[in-house]
Structure 1
Amino acid sequence: MANDPHEESYDYREIDDVIHGRVRLALMAFLSGAGSADFSDLKKRIGVTDGNLSIHIKKLEEAGYVRVTKRFNNKRPQTICHLTDAGRKAWIVYIARMEALLTPPAAE
């Protein structure tokens, strides 16, 4: 971060790499509105394979951004992903960081 609080920082290291991956970004964007979704719906909406989605969900889960629950629905297993409070906070910080990076510097 810059020393002057009025000086904009374009430091790429301030971007949350856990969220910034394309699939994880799509997951977080969807869950930020939906709150939770089942695996099949996420797979269909994001357009990824089972394995690819599982890997990215696991990474978000390890970061504490999503919580995964498993249940049965009509004797069929169902995996539900929930955005956690920590995930929502991280998402808000991520969006603010992206907005700051995309805002042109003020003319002097």
Structure 2
Amino acid sequence: MYNTWPSIVQFLENCIPLINNTVVMWKFPEGESYKCNSDGSSLGSNDFCIRNGQGESIYAETCKTEFSSALQDDVKGFKGGLLYCLGHNLLPLIIETDLVTIKKILDGIW
């Protein structure tokens, strides 16, 4: 099948990679609610920002971390944003993160 160099080269030249694109857009929270977006970084930081229904920035925070994984930083950013919003009565709240693992943890799947 692909046991010679020319057959391997021909296969690779004819190979068409599958590429999937997803457009991600930030959407305003509806009505008088708030939206908190959180993120972590493999470079050692966890961040969150909060906006109101008009898209105005309410609060943002970033924390430099040491000796933690990207997952730990994502969770710390999520937790920090959630605790800030609860502590300042920024409700109703929509919280968004880019890490599916956090959703699976909260849903009890993982």
TM-score, structure 2 length as denominator?
0.22
Structure possessing the higher relative contact order (Cα contacts under 8 Å, 6 or more residues apart) = 1
Larger Rg: 2
Hey, which of these two has a bigger chunk of strand by percent? Answer: 2
TM-score, structure 1 length as denominator?
0.23
Hey, which of these two has a bigger chunk of helix by percent? Answer: 1
